[in-house]
C-alpha cells in the first residue's frame, strides 16, 4: 500500500462527497440557481446550515440582497442540469430557463424550488461570515421537504434515482449508495470487535466469488 502526499487543496475534495446543493435565490422577481458543494449542517437548535460561496458569485449578491436562499438536493436525473448551472453566472442570464428546469413556489421564502429534486431546505439569512477567500452564508432553516421515496429520517438509498448526487470535483459526480449498518459490538475488555465470525464468513465468501469471477474474466455484476 502506498501513501501518497497530496496538496493542501486536496483537503476540500477528500471531505466531499456530501449531497450537492443547488442554491436558489430570488431578488425582486428574478430568480437564480447555482450548484454549491460546500454546505454544512451547523446547529440543531436553532436549525442552522451553512453554504460557503465565493463572494464573486451572483448567488452571493442575491443572498445578501434578499436575505434568504433555498437548498435543492438533486438526484442523478438532474446531473447535466446541475453541472450546467455551474458553468455560467446568472447575473445577466436566466439559467433556470436555459437549463430547462421547472420550479414551484417555496412555502416560507420567495426563492423558487426546483422540480425533480429529492429534497428542499428553505432558509432565512442568519449570518454572513467571511472565511478565507469564500463567505459562509448561515441559513436559519424555516421549512424542509423531502420526497418520501428518497428520505425518512435518513437518506433511504433504495433506488439510484432517489439517491442524492454528490460532487467529486471537476466534471465528476457520483450517486450516494450502498447503505451500510454499523453494528457496534465489544469484547469482554471493551475492545471493538472489528469483524464478527459471521461477517468474516460473509467477507471470505464474497472475496472467493470475486476471485472466481476475475479468473473467468467475467466482469458482469452480481445481481
Ligand atoms: C458541482 C459544483 C459545485 C460547486 N460548488 C461551489 C461551492 O461550494 N461554492 C462556490 O462558491 N461555488 C461553487 N461552484 C461554482 C458555482 O456554482 C459557479 O461559479 C456558478 O456559475 C455560480 O453561478 P452564479 O454566478 O449565478 O451564482 C460549484 C460548481 C459546481 C459545478
pTM of the full structure? 0.89
pLDDT at site 219:
56
Q: What are phi and psi of 3, to 5 degrees?
A: -95, 120
* CA dist., res. 51 & res. 138, Å (int): 7
Is 54 close to ligand 1, i.e. is its CB under 6 Å away?
yes
* CA dist., res. 124 & res. 137, Å (int): 10
- Give the number of the atom of ligand 1 that is nearest the alpha carbon of residue 88: 21
How many angstroms is it from 113 CA to the middle of ligand 1?
17
Q: Is 52's pLDDT higher than 80?
A: yes
How many angstroms is it from 85 CA to the middle of ligand 1?
8
pLDDT at site 220:
54
State the average pLDDT over residues 196-217.
Answer: 91
Q: Is 15's pLDDT higher than 50?
A: yes
How many angstroms is it from 108 CA to the middle of ligand 1?
24
Task: Give strand ranges (E) for 108-194.
Answer: 113-114, 119-131, 134-146, 151-152, 154-155, 165-169, 172-175
* CA dist., res. 176 & res. 157, Å (int): 7
pLDDT at site 223:
47
Q: Is 45's pLDDT higher than 60?
A: yes
pLDDT at site 102:
98
pLDDT in tens, 153-191: 888 899 999 999 999 999 999 999 988 888 889 999 999
Amino acid at each position: 500500500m502506498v501513501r501518497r502526499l497530496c496538496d493542501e487543496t486536496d483537503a476540500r475534495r477528500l471531505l466531499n462527497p456530501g449531497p450537492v446543493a443547488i442554491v436558489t435565490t430570488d431578488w425582486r422577481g428574478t430568480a437564480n440557481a447555482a450548484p454549491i458543494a460546500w454546505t454544512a449542517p451547523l446547529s440543531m437548535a436553532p436549525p442552522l446550515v451553512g453554504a460557503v460561496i465565493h463572494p464573486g458569485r451572483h448567488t452571493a449578491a442575491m443572498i445578501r440582497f434578499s436575505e434568504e436562499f433555498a437548498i435543492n438536493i438533486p438526484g442523478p436525473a438532474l446531473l447535466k442540469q446541475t453541472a450546467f448551472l455551474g458553468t455560467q453566472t446568472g447575473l445577466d442570464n436566466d439559467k433556470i430557463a436555459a437549463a430547462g428546469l421547472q420550479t414551484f413556489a417555496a412555502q416560507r421564502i420567495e426563492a423558487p424550488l426546483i422540480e425533480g429534486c429529492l429534497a428542499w431546505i428553505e432558509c432565512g439569512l442568519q449570518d454572513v461570515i467571511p472565511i478565507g477567500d469564500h463567505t459562509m452564508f448561515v441559513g436559519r432553516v424555516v421549512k424542509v421537504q423531502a420526497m418520501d421515496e428518497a428520505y425518512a429520517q435518513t437518506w433511504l438509498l433504495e433506488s439510484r434515482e432517489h439517491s442524492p448526487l454528490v460532487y467529486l470535483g471537476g466534471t465528476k459526480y457520483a450517486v450516494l449508495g450502498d447503505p451500510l449498518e454499523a453494528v457496534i459490538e465489544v469484547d469482554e475488555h471493551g475492545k471493538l470487535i472489528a469483524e464478527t465470525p459471521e461477517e468474516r464468513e460473509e467477507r471470505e465468501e464474497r472475496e472467493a466469488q470475486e476471485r472466481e469471477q476475475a479468473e473467468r474474466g467475467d466482469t458482469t455484476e452480481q445481481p
